[in-house]
Chains A and B, each alone.
Chain A
Amino acid sequence: MKYNPVTEEILMELTKIVGDKNIMTDEEKIEAYSHDETPAEQYAHLPEVVLTPNSAAEIAQVMKLANRELIPVTPSGARSGLSGGAIPDHGGIVISIENMDEVIEIDYDNLMMVLEPGVITNNVNEMLEESGLFFAGYPMSVETCYLGGNIAENAGGGKAVKYGVTGRYVMGLEIVTPTGEIVQFGGKRVKDVTGYDLKQLIVGSEGTLGIVTKATIKLLPKPTQRVGLLALFEDVETAISTVPKIMTAGRIIPTSIEFMDKLSVKTSCEYLNEHLPYQKAGAMLLIEVDGNKEEVVNADSETIGELCLDNNAIEVYVADNHTTRERIWSVRRNIAEAFKVVSPHQSLEDIVVPTANIPKLMPYLADISEKYGIKVPCYGHAGDGNLHATLVKNPDHSMEKWYELEEEALLDLYKATKELGGTISGEHGIGSKRKKYMDMIMDPVELRLMRGIKKVFDPNNIMNPGKIFEME
């Protein structure tokens, strides 16, 4: 597909739609919209123009113009994504939803909230603080990411073991379609089987099927008690083999079961100046339980703690107040950021396998590390079988060697994941980073159906083109 450039005339037309304060073309300004959290030198691409519209109506007009002129449009949130989803691979127009950050309604009677997509996820819960309600989405970038991005990527995060991922809480979506119509899918209805569930099709579609302009999300009563455990293990295998037992033998579904290997903990602790005794441990599990009765939550955490000790944990720490809980979670949340500081050249992966198969995955990671002479630190949402194994460039390797080896190592990793019944992304998405592996991981029929859906929504293939898969 050949796209047309954004001409002076088109810029004038765009200015008319969004106003001259909401359009940017200076390279200095639009540079920020050329990358997300994937390595810029590999994936970044400049847009021709960035728009920061204020309404769905403006976005709809832009989409109509883009269809008429065959200009690609890439929706953009907080750009904390990890698969290149918000990068304008073909240039053209970037539509940033940053100005659309209004909370439209908090509906206490229905336990729902209606928001614009540019609201920062953490702010949702800050606004709900006093109401005793909460939004269960908890991606690790919670302090910066936008709700719209969470929906587009179907973000997972640290509480998915018990609460599931973002999609579970999306009740309704207003979107602008790639052809420029404004449409509402779903609403404040707990049940709805009236036709296909198009709102869930939008969830996780990585901005290829439309731009979310309003979202109705489900809220839950906020548990009053939370206890975190930090269990230290001698090695990765011992820690990981404990994970399935927490749910099977312990008969408890915790809020979170997070895994961190030694390198991950060390890197994050050094970055934070945190003095946890990480030298002692080859791996750690961060487990959290929540509920409304102190005795019950304490008993559950004790059951899990004992189970860890029975499985040869060296030590189990208990964090049952804000100070201690924040300390242990901060270590987990800052791993990715800390690695970026230490080693900018890396491939942060997002593989997911059935939880019972997690222990089987570990030897493969060790093999890859040895075969390619690179470090493969690993951390992530062990309770979901979702691990952020990260391939880190060996400082002795040249960049050419690294790119070559990264591709081969990824292929090995993905093959192993597939063998274990897993797939290549649990929550970060395919974007441009992983699309070349789609043929390997997906059934051709499934891919054909996906391309068909894309064609129905976006006949001219102008909405975030080149993401997830190529059209031909």
Chain B
Amino acid sequence: MNIVIPIKQVPETSNVKMDEETGTMKRDGVESIINPLDLYAIETGIQIKEEYGGTITVITMGPPSADKSLKEAIAMGCDDGILLSGREFAGSDTWATSYALSEAIRAIGEFDLILAGERATDGDTGQVGPGIASWLDLTLSTYTSKVVDIKDKSVIVERMVEDGYEKLQLPLPALLTVVKEISFPRLPTLRGKQRSRKVEIPQWNLSNLKMKEDFLGLNGSPTRVVNIDHPKVTRGGTVIDVRNDASIEKAVSQLIDYLKSKELV
């Protein structure tokens, strides 16, 4: 069972601060981590490998520093990493990104399964996984919540749909995008970390991988960001602080006074 897992390096956003003037995120000192949902894809891949054997290749597109995320995945139990990195990829949208990743996956060689997180916390599109499936003409299961079995050159999965679960059998090779229900990501081990430090991560780009140049980067991206607008706060809002049981009554009377002042009660 050869598994490929495309992952994304995203900014750690639990403590994120926004620059109020530009409306962009303050990236200084913000740590980069593996996209949280991708961890579930990695865990699923490792569990499949433990049961059925095989190798796992993780692949990402990003700056040279993104090799840190690949090494983290290797420390968790993946085998190899490939980094797509170069100026030609800068500004890629989901169309260009999934194209570049699919060409790289093609170049890796034979594979049975591609596992991806359902979406990334930063772009939040959920398009790159299905995009790769489309470029490579693979069967696809999105929102996969369980891998039931792998047999007879097919994978049986459950996927979450609005009113329950759907059970699908997909011929291999297939691409699954996974949701949190599928597994609990393990932590990387010391031995895994040590191994990952020794693994050489090859860097691929136009110089050593055949791709259509005009499909890459900003030029290859049909998406155009015309304008970034952030919603204007039209109502200021009044925050009434209720920090403990004792201040509830005070807060309620403040609220009533406020409503009265607006002639709402």
Please give the residue numbers on chain A whose beta carbons come within 8 Å of chain B beta carbons, in ascending order.
21, 24, 28-33, 50, 52, 98, 129-130, 229-230, 275-277, 302, 305-306, 309, 315-324, 326-328
Contacts and interface: CB of A to CB of B under 8 A. Distances in A.
A302 B194 contact: yes
26 contacts: A24-B246, A28-B245, A32-B244, A50-B246, A98-B244, A129-B17, A130-B17, A229-B190, A302-B190, A302-B193, A316-B189, A316-B191, A317-B187, A317-B188, A317-B189, A317-B190, A318-B187, A319-B187, A321-B31, A321-B72, A322-B31, A322-B33, A323-B34, A324-B188, A326-B14, A327-B187
A33 B247 CA distance: 12
Q: Is the interface of A mostly helix, strand, loop or mixed?
A: helix
Of all A-B residue pairs in the complex, the 9 with the closest CB atoms, nearest first, are A275-B184, A317-B187, A305-B190, A316-B190, A322-B12, A29-B246, A32-B245, A318-B193, A321-B33
Interface of B: 12, 14-15, 17, 29, 31, 33-34, 36, 39, 72, 75, 184, 186-194, 243-246, 249-250
Given A315-B189, A327-B187, 15 more contacts: A21-B250, A29-B246, A31-B245, A130-B29, A230-B187, A305-B190, A316-B189, A316-B191, A318-B187, A318-B190, A318-B192, A319-B187, A321-B33, A323-B39, A324-B187
B131 to A, nearest CB: 26
Contacts of A316: 189-191
Nearest to A328: B187
Contacts, number: 67
A324 to B, nearest CB: 6
Contacts of A321: 12, 31, 33, 72
Nearest to A315: B189
A442 B193 CA distance: 49
Contacts of A30: 246
Contacts of B29: 130
Contacts of B17: 129-130
A327 B185 CA distance: 11
Contact of A29 (B34, B189, B245): B245
Contacts of A319: 187-188
A67 B194 CA distance: 66
A130 B14 CA distance: 15
A321 B33 CA distance: 7
A32 B245 CA distance: 7
Contacts of A326: 14
Contacts of B14: 322, 326
Contacts of A229: 190
Contacts of A130: 17, 29
A327 B194 CA distance: 21
A232 to B, nearest CB: 10
Contacts of B186: 277
A306 B190 CA distance: 8
B187 A276 contact: yes
Nearest to A324: B187
A292 B29 CA distance: 13
Contacts of B189: 315-318
Contacts of B246: 24, 29-30, 32-33, 50, 52
Contacts of A230: 187
